[in-house]
């Protein structure tokens, strides 16, 4: 019995030909959950545009034994026919799967898009909960009547008892235009001590450098880290001074190297977790780092 994790970055150019991406665990896994690790949505012409719609989301499908299919969506467009660049737009997902019996040990799952301000409810909850962590599984926002400039984009999944409270927004300055926002919530609940993995969180990160998460203090004696996983629990990105601007690119999550977390001794390394947004104007407007950031769950798998 063990937790397994698979991370994949998928380009929009791939999704345009096949929107379903398989995560192959090589053996039966249940339960299953997925978390959004990061995304980058970009217009192709090195120009900023108003935004009508932006989305980074996935839907869990049904596959052969050991295969977890995710139907992914990565899109951004205005009302003038400009759409996300398939060669630079990507979406990062992590899928977790449990091998063997999970009874009383672990419960986890991810839902589907639902309105901001609502709660995701897990399908099952262990009798005893030793620890739990929420997951942000996807984000969608669209202005209801027209495309507009953007000041702030945010999404979060936070624990509310055994449920996950979802909140998100896309607004322009002075909230003259407020988008309809939907989010995907997920949750991992653990019913025993030392289940073969440990959970930590990092909050309000805005770093172009690697962030190190130390697990030495939670590893059982004689064990070592064998693998890891990470996914978003929240993000927020805003232009400075309360101003709204066009968008060329919005990029959320780990942004250094490949973007994939990795193990180094007793540490898990998260490559450059941050939230960025820019318009390619003259001059180019970029996010305010003092109010832009990401929060993530980080899992260390040990034996």
pLDDT in tens, 235-288: 999 999 999 999 999 999 999 989 999 999 999 999 999 999 999 998 999 999
* Residue 246: predicted pLDDT: 97
Summarize pLDDT for 16-53 with one digit per residue, the tens.
Answer: 999 999 999 999 999 999 999 999 999 999 999 999 99
Q: Which of 220, 253, 249, 236 is nearest to 288 (CA)?
A: 236
Q: Which residues contact 81 (CB under 8 A, 6 or more apart)?
A: none
The b/e string for 195-211 (b: 16+ C-beta within 10 A; e otherwise) is bbbbbbebeebbbeebb
Query: Considering the chain, what percentage of its residues have pLDDT values greater than 70?
Result: 100
Cis peptide before 31 (omega within 30 of 0): yes
- Give the C-alpha separation, 150 to 143, whole Å: 10
3-class SS of residue 34: strand
Confidence of residue 156 (pLDDT cuts 50, 70, 90): very high
Beta-strand runs (E) in 177-244: 180-190, 197-205, 211-214, 225-238
pLDDT exceeds cutoff 90 at 172: yes
> What's this model's pTM, rounded to 2 decimal places?
0.97
Beta-carbon neighbour count of residue 223 at 10 Å?
16
Averaged pLDDT score across all residues of the chain: 97
Q: What is the mean pLDDT of residues 95-101?
A: 97
What is the gyration radius of the CA atoms in the chain, in angstroms? Answer: 19
Confidence of residue 176 (pLDDT cuts 50, 70, 90): confident
pLDDT exceeds cutoff 90 at 10: yes
């Amino acid at each position: 019995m063990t937790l397994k994790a698979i991370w994949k970055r998928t380009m929009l150019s791939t999704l345009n030909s096949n929107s379903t991406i398989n995560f192959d665990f090589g053996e039966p896994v249940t339960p299953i959950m997925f978390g959004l690790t990061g995304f980058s949505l970009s217009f192709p012409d090195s120009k900023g545009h108003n935004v009508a719609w932006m989305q980074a989301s996935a839907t869990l499908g049904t596959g052969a034994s050991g295969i977890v299919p995710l139907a992914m969506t990565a899109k951004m467009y205005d009302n003038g026919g400009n759409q996300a660049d398939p060669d630079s737009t990507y979406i990062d997902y992590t899928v977790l799967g449990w091998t063997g019996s999970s009874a009383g040990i672990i419960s986890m799952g991810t839902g589907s898009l639902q309105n901001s301000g609502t709660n995701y409810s897990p399908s099952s909850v262990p009798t005893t909960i030793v620890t739990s962590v929420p997951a942000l599984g996807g984000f969608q926002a669209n202005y209801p009547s027209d495309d507009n400039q953007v000041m702030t984009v945010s999404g979060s999944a936070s624990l509310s008892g055994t449920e996950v409270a979802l909140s998100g927004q896309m607004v322009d300055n002075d909230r003259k235009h407020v988008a309809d926002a939907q989010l995907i919530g997920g949750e991992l609940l653990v019913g025993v001590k030392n289940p073969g993995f440990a959970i930590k969180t990092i909050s309000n990160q805005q770093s172009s450098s690697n962030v190190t998460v130390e697990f030495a203090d939670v590893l059982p004696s004689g064990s070592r880290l064998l693998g890891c996983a990470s996914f978003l629990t929240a993000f927020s990105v805003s232009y400075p001074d309360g101003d709204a601007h066009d968008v060329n690119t919005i990029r959320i999550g780990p942004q250094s190297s490949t973007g994939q977390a990795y193990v180094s001794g007793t540490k898990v390394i998260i490559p450059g977790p941050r939230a960025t947004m820019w318009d390619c104007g003259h001059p180019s407007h970029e996010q305010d780092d003092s109010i832009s950031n990401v929060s993530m769950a980080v899992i260390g798998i040990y034996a």
